[in-house]
Amino acid sequence: MTGYIAVAFCAAVTFLNLFSLAVTAWRCRVRPEPLAGRMKASGLENHAPPVSIVRPLCGLETFSEQTLRSTFELDHPDYEVLFCVQNKTDPIIPLVEKLLAEQPEGRGRLLVGDDPISPNPKLNNCVKGWQAARHPWVVLADSNVLAPRDYLQKMLVRFRPDVGLVCSPPLGMAPEGAGAHLECAFLNSYQARWQFTSDALGMGYAQGKSMMWRREIVDRAGGMAALASEIAEDAASTKLVRGAGMKVALVDRPFDQPLGKRSLLAVYRRQTRWARLRRASFSHLYALEIFSTSVPAILIGAFAAREFGFSPWIAAAVVAALWLLPETFVNRRLLWPATWRSPIAFLMRDLLFPIIWIDGWLGDDFEWMGNSMTVREAADKTLDRAA
């Protein structure tokens, strides 16, 4: 009886994995039809609403000039760019001033200062940009997002009357070295895949890399302070939008985040930070994440094979192939970074995942951009500030 239960479980989670890959391959496919046709279908063909782009900055990164410059190269007739920096000595400021000087139309502005409304320094940095934004559509875009020329159109086209927020998870691109390829394995066909699967099922979740808001939704809820209800502004955004009776939607294809080199330690720390944040905001879903990678299926498949007198090693290899090879195929199909080494990177990710998952349950503290933060007392600090 135990063997049959093991077979059923292994088959169920493997099918769910293949289903999520199929959904992602369809949702993120390269679309041959021009975006103009989709804009027409959504009623936006002859209406390009003005948009404010708020980009919080903190320090220089490898691709800072490339990503920030892309903000000024958009095919949109009316938008403004608000760069937000907390400290007037931040080394990113000379680069921003250089880029602003290259814009004769005065499209961009640099805002310096801090508004401590929450334990989240990124959210505090965004407050002045939100307040200075002139337009009814506002994008909060991380500094390391590379904006394509149709960046704004790709978000606008996803709005419907019941959609209050459109987001994009990051797509790891231009990886250099084992650490960066491992980062791609986490970002692309794991995290982005499950987000697009949730979105296809009508349960979209916000991610703070690129978020386009209907401004009135946030303002009706009390402004940016409403996003301080959670330690992570994207978790607060998801709950705010759903509380307003609306949905979070994702763009058709995620926007690039160039990676360059990444150390294995940096990848591990980033993933444990995100794990702790997910556990703090959506613990019921976080509890199920352990079954979303190949290791439990491989182990249980091997156990089931042994119960029925077959080689557990062969069974483990077969189950691993059913998980890792289709994932590689989908990455190549979508033109995401993929090589013959990709199955190894996916397996490394899946072997590391249980450690990260357990860490997410046990840990509360983390460091982000030089700031010591915790998920343990975030709600209490927010309430103290409100009082």
Residue with the bigger pLDDT between 376 and 251: it is 251
> Is residue 157 pLDDT above 90, yes or no?
yes
Q: Where residue 378 falls among pLDDT bands split at 50, 70, 90? A: low
Cβ contacts of 54 within 8 Å, gap of 6 or more? 82, 84, 126, 129, 130, 133, 138, 139, 140, 141
Average pLDDT over residues 37-66: 80
Instruction: Give the pLDDT of residue 244.
Output: 93
Average pLDDT over residues 68-84: 95
Residue 170, beta-bridge partner list: 255
Instruction: Give the pLDDT of residue 379.
Output: 45
> Is residue 201 pLDDT above 80, yes or no?
yes
What percentage of the chain exceeds 90 in pLDDT? 81
Instruction: Give the pLDDT of residue 231.
Output: 87
> Is residue 255 pLDDT above 90, yes or no?
yes
Query: Which residues of the chain does CATH 3.90.550.10 include?
Result: 33-169+207-262
The pTM is what? 0.91
Half-sphere exposure of 361 (CA within 13 A, CB side): 12
Instruction: Give the pLDDT of residue 382.
Output: 44
Cβ-contact 324, 294 below 8 angstroms: yes
* Residue reference for tokens 């386009």: 212
Cβ-contact 155, 76 below 8 angstroms: no
From residue 81, alpha-carbon distances to 26, 54, 100, 272 in Å are 33, 6, 10, 32
Average pLDDT over residues 164-189: 96
Which CATH fold would you assign to the domain 33-169+207-262? Spore Coat Polysaccharide Biosynthesis Protein SpsA; Chain A (3.90.550)
